[in-house]
Chain A
Amino acid sequence: MDMIELLEPFQRMLDAIATPSEVRAVEEGGDAGPMWQEFAESGFMDALVAEEHGGAGLTLADIEPLLQAIGAQPVPLPVAETMVARALLANAGIDRPDGPILMVTGSALPVPCAAAASHALVDDGEQLHLSPMEALSPVTTGAYHSLSMRLTDTPSGEKLARPAGGLRAIAAVLRAALIAGAAERLTQMSTQFANERVQFGKPIGRQQAVQHMLAVMGEDMIACRIAAQLGLSKGLDVPMPVAAAAKITTSAAVPRIAATAHAVHGAIGISEEYDLQLLTRRLHEWRLADGSEGYWEALLGAARLASPDPTVDWVRTEIFA
């Protein structure tokens, strides 16, 4: 299938229902129900569900443009997570609930978009549980306009087997794709702003110092895209080194990308009414979610050091094969 054909209707839907004012309304405590209803009725939520279970039977790699679009908008609902959760539930023969489903890979840190979820798929290290959100006693963090919540209660509900790499590996790869989408949007916004904003008699984008900052941002954007694509290329059973490479590259790029976007925009980028912050605030949350670069670096490094192979052979076998 031509993925552009898939992306266009999806993007049209996003443009119609996840406008910056709708995103703000949800962040301010508004009802996300109507927005979710549009996603639920679109059919896209079963993109990864096998055809025999009524889905489209697509792979994670197939839907990469959709995941990036969700990150670029940025959608205040766990849409990417729901798509994966529904596929895992379908594979396990469990009925899929109607609402947005969160993926919970740890109880210590807040989970982005939790405020908008009705259910959660929780990895307890041994198996997955499908739990209604209320059962997990979600607690808001108090961070301004954040939809993240801490989920501490022991999960209950229907059980299913963990994927080979655990839920955290898939979740990290989804974060990588969302980061890549936001990175591309921020690079576009910053480049356009630099070409329009006049200081000292010319657009700031004519200044070599600004050009070089944006060139590095462009490099980070491409690195994020390609690392995310690498992460998505293995399907739902993501090997640890693959998830690690994707999340390390994208998480490590987040502070640079956000900093450059804000530096180029100047003070207006900090203001609540300007859309830039919708993306940069989200980027920092995604960086922390499901393991930061430091978490995955320690795992990846330990695995690498346990092997006598030369670097290129190890990377080819463990990440590219």
Chain B
Amino acid sequence: MFDTFAIASLPEADESLRSAVRDIIVRCAKGMPTDQRARSWQGFSAEFSRMLGAEGFLGLTLPEQYGGRDRGPFSRFVVVEELLCAGAPVAAHWMADRQSAPLILNYGTETQRQFYIPRICRGEALFCIGMSEPGAGSDLAGVRTRAERRDGGWLLNGQKIWTTHAVHSDYMIALVRTSGTSADRQGGLSQLIVDLKAPGVTVRPITDLTGDAHFSEVFFDNVELGEDALIGNEGEGWKQVTAELAFERSGPERIYSSVVLLDAWIRHVQSSRQIAARADVSPLVGRITAEFATLRAMSIACTARLAAGESPVLEASIVKDRGTSFEQLLPIVIGDDLAAHPDEAVSDELYRTLLYVTHIAPSFSLRGGTREILRGIIARGMGLR
């Protein structure tokens, strides 16, 4: 069962990227407090993303002719691992580098590739992903935002929600209905590139329970788009989105969301407890370390399927479901350990970090497809549906 899902190792040539990435992170993120680092996915710094682009760390999997580095998924694994473990602010380039550029490469016209991809590789074209809508969260077939053909272009009306960083982005790749109704389910869906500066687009931030506003709702009121807004083929949006989600789910991202907290806690334990007193926390640290190692090996195995040119939908779902469970476990057990030692001082910075990760952790198994949807995909892959 899943016979190709087997251990793989990172090529030496890709491992060697680490020190250069670290240099940039140190230059840019030095002195950032831990609770800011813990926001990594949500940390928005266009300056940092442009610096990564200039140093050649964006577009690693993309062809050189479009400004990419032609290196493949293993190099992206190494760079992403370094960025997330350091808590670097990746939000500005995150969606474009991971999803939008590969999507445009695979399905876009030559003109679209030449227009968008080089700018993405420089960290200059920032993308958000318009999938969710009110009434259609994980059930993307329920999308109702509609684009109608009009005078050699498209007229777009509707609303997207839970769109990460729409406020700061230049473009959205939106999944919209171009024919039929939501009763047609997957039929009649297409993907359009929307310039978020276009007249008729309104973006409203949504403040979350941590006080951040990385989500937005986006309204389209008679937005006029050119013919070239369409990516790929009209009516094949579902197929394209499925492939795109494999990119979204298959990276190492789904292990590291709480790792800044983990390392801060380990440092706390090391500095607060006598070596003998650490014995009671050792099994917990060992359990976490083993799970981290196993997940990392699973994620590299999944990356190997990407490197082999496959679209590892199943493997990615398995790593994402197990990975987000690990990310969600950490704030629970770390909170328990800290409060199980009520006479041991915890810094405000560590306390803020713990509460931030605790409060945002439910989103880990929502973004990119909920846990329950992923388990349905896995069950189908096992022949159960």
**Which A residues have a C-beta under 8 Å from some C-beta of B?**
184, 187-188, 191, 194-195, 205-206, 208, 210-212, 214-216, 218-219, 221-223, 225-227, 229-230, 233, 241, 244-245, 248-249, 252, 293-294, 296-302, 304-306, 308, 310-312, 314-315, 319-320
Tell me the complex Cα distance, A245–B297, Å.
11
* Interface presence of B30 (CB below 8 A): no
Q: Can you list 23 A-B contacts with CB-CB less than 8 angstroms, sorted by A residue number?
A: A187-B1, A191-B382, A191-B384, A211-B376, A219-B318, A226-B5, A245-B293, A293-B287, A296-B286, A297-B286, A300-B290, A302-B279, A302-B286, A305-B278, A306-B275, A310-B85, A310-B263, A311-B259, A311-B292, A312-B296, A315-B293, A320-B296, A320-B297
Interface string of B372-385 (1 = CB under 8 A from A): 10111011011111
Tell me the complex Cα distance, A144–B263, Å.
46
If the complex has contacts A218-B378, A302-B279, are A226 and B266 also in contact, measured as CB distance less than 8 A? no
* Interface presence of B298 (CB below 8 A): yes
If the complex has contacts A223-B298, A226-B301, A315-B296, are A297 and B5 also in contact, measured as CB distance less than 8 A? no
Across-interface contacts of A310 in B (CB, < 8 A): 85, 263
In the complex, the answer to whether A225 meets B289 with C-beta atoms within 8 Å is no
Across-interface contacts of B294 in A (CB, < 8 A): 223, 226-227, 230, 245, 249
Closest to A217 in B: B382
Across-interface contacts of A233 in B (CB, < 8 A): 7
In the complex, the answer to whether B293 meets A305 with C-beta atoms within 8 Å is no
Tell me the complex Cα distance, A314–B286, Å.
12
Closest to B260 in A: A310
In the complex, the answer to whether B1 meets A214 with C-beta atoms within 8 Å is no
Across-interface contacts of A230 in B (CB, < 8 A): 7, 293-294, 297
In the complex, the answer to whether A223 meets B282 with C-beta atoms within 8 Å is no
Tell me the complex Cα distance, A216–B374, Å.
10
Interface string of B247-274 (1 = CB under 8 A from A): 0000000000001001100100110000
B160 to chain A, nearest CB (A): 28
Across-interface contacts of A302 in B (CB, < 8 A): 278-279, 282, 285-286
Across-interface contacts of A225 in B (CB, < 8 A): 5-6
Across-interface contacts of B381 in A (CB, < 8 A): 218
If the complex has contacts A219-B322, A221-B1, A311-B85, are A304 and B286 also in contact, measured as CB distance less than 8 A? yes
* Chain B interface size range: 35 or more
In the complex, the answer to whether A223 meets B322 with C-beta atoms within 8 Å is yes
Q: Give B287-307 interface residues, CB cut-off 8 Å to A.
A: 287, 289-298, 301
Closest to A302 in B: B282
Tell me the complex Cα distance, A310–B294, Å.
17
Closest to B323 in A: A219
**Which B residues have a C-beta under 8 Å from some C-beta of A?**
1-2, 5-7, 9, 81, 85, 259, 262-263, 266, 269-270, 275, 278-279, 281-287, 289-298, 301, 318, 321-322, 372, 374-376, 378-379, 381-385
In the complex, the answer to whether B282 meets A301 with C-beta atoms within 8 Å is yes
Across-interface contacts of A218 in B (CB, < 8 A): 1-2, 318, 378, 381-382
Residue from B269, B279, B383 with most neighbouring chain A CB atoms (10 Å): B383
Closest to B291 in A: A249
Chain B facing A: main interface SS: helix
Across-interface contacts of B378 in A (CB, < 8 A): 215, 218-219
If the complex has contacts A218-B318, A226-B7, are A312 and B85 also in contact, measured as CB distance less than 8 A? yes
A158 to chain B, nearest CB (A): 35
In the complex, the answer to whether A227 meets B297 with C-beta atoms within 8 Å is yes
Residue from A214, A230, A311 with most neighbouring chain B CB atoms (10 Å): A311
Across-interface contacts of A244 in B (CB, < 8 A): 286, 290
Across-interface contacts of A222 in B (CB, < 8 A): 2, 5, 298, 318
Across-interface contacts of B9 in A (CB, < 8 A): 320
Across-interface contacts of A208 in B (CB, < 8 A): 376
In the complex, the answer to whether A226 meets B384 with C-beta atoms within 8 Å is no
A287 to chain B, nearest CB (A): 14
In the complex, the answer to whether B286 meets A248 with C-beta atoms within 8 Å is yes
Tell me the complex Cα distance, A229–B381, Å.
23
In the complex, the answer to whether A211 meets B375 with C-beta atoms within 8 Å is yes
Across-interface contacts of A205 in B (CB, < 8 A): 379, 384
In the complex, the answer to whether B286 meets A301 with C-beta atoms within 8 Å is yes
Across-interface contacts of A308 in B (CB, < 8 A): 270
Across-interface contacts of A304 in B (CB, < 8 A): 266, 285-286, 289
Tell me the complex Cα distance, A305–B265, Å.
11
A155 to chain B, nearest CB (A): 29
Residue from B7, B85, B384 with most neighbouring chain A CB atoms (10 Å): B384
Tell me the complex Cα distance, A297–B259, Å.
19
Closest to A252 in B: B287
If the complex has contacts A211-B379, A212-B375, A226-B297, are A297 and B85 also in contact, measured as CB distance less than 8 A? no
Tell me the complex Cα distance, A233–B6, Å.
12
A282 to chain B, nearest CB (A): 19
Indicate which residue in B278, B292, B293, B321 contacts A219 across the interface (CB closer than 8 Å). Answer: B321
Across-interface contacts of B321 in A (CB, < 8 A): 215-216, 219
In the complex, the answer to whether A215 meets B382 with C-beta atoms within 8 Å is yes
Across-interface contacts of B290 in A (CB, < 8 A): 227, 244-245, 248-249, 293, 296-297, 300
Tell me the complex Cα distance, A188–B81, Å.
34
Across-interface contacts of B374 in A (CB, < 8 A): 215
Across-interface contacts of B282 in A (CB, < 8 A): 297-299, 301-302, 305
